[in-house]
Structure 1
């Protein structure tokens, strides 16, 4: 009977993970898109990498911390993607592939372009704090750093955005 219990527990964990991913994937992709400066294909890759790490740890993740853990996995995967020396590069081809429709509005493109000017740690702090609306503590947990680091990265990121933002749109 012991083997049957394990199979039921594994099945229950699979169901819980599937439900979590179904409910939270879109939010994770949105966050990842902002973290990788609007590259939706890269954001999808980042989320997929994060979900793999989450799945491997799922048995140890408490339900009340699952979302925070997933968010941290996304931030780490986005940072790792940026740091990787062996990132995939686009290949020049004689025949152009089909072109996807750009789903970003003009305002989205401006915001993504501005965020792209920030270093990854500044971008993560600004996105999590001011776009996603997380507290300093939640942002620090997601970034795996101190609250003081979040405050300084956020302040520097906002200052950088104020310097480059067109005057009529300047942040207050």
Structure 2
């Protein structure tokens, strides 16, 4: 881990009130070096090479701490297994329905795709679109008061056509 990355991680931990542990720092470093959207098992495989005594449970626990604190983001839970990402830039995902691999696609690339019949159209990286689906994750009106009790209710949204 570069000195700059290590400092940034220390600051993230301080901002989030997290203890800075060696294991946590190594997990973060490994995840920074991994492309795409790794699963906890993939992260564990790389971390175990650096810390042989670490357990899969410790990696899972730290990933969940990173998710809860906003250091990591979870890729849509609808894709089968927990996948995480460090990419905080606005983007969407290309999910292979066969192997479950996940690739990023920028908003501009997706908008440029166009057309209401995506079948047999190619996207970046040679990805063949079968259908397009955008997940909007948030809180329904019923759950909001429990999570955000001081929130002022918003006006009803105008239905999208």
Per the shorter chain, which TM-score range? under 0.3
TM-score of the two chains, using structure 1 as the length reference? 0.23
TM-score of the two chains, using structure 2 as the length reference? 0.24
Higher relative contact order (CA 8 A, sep 6+): 1
Which of the pair is proportionally richer in helix?
1
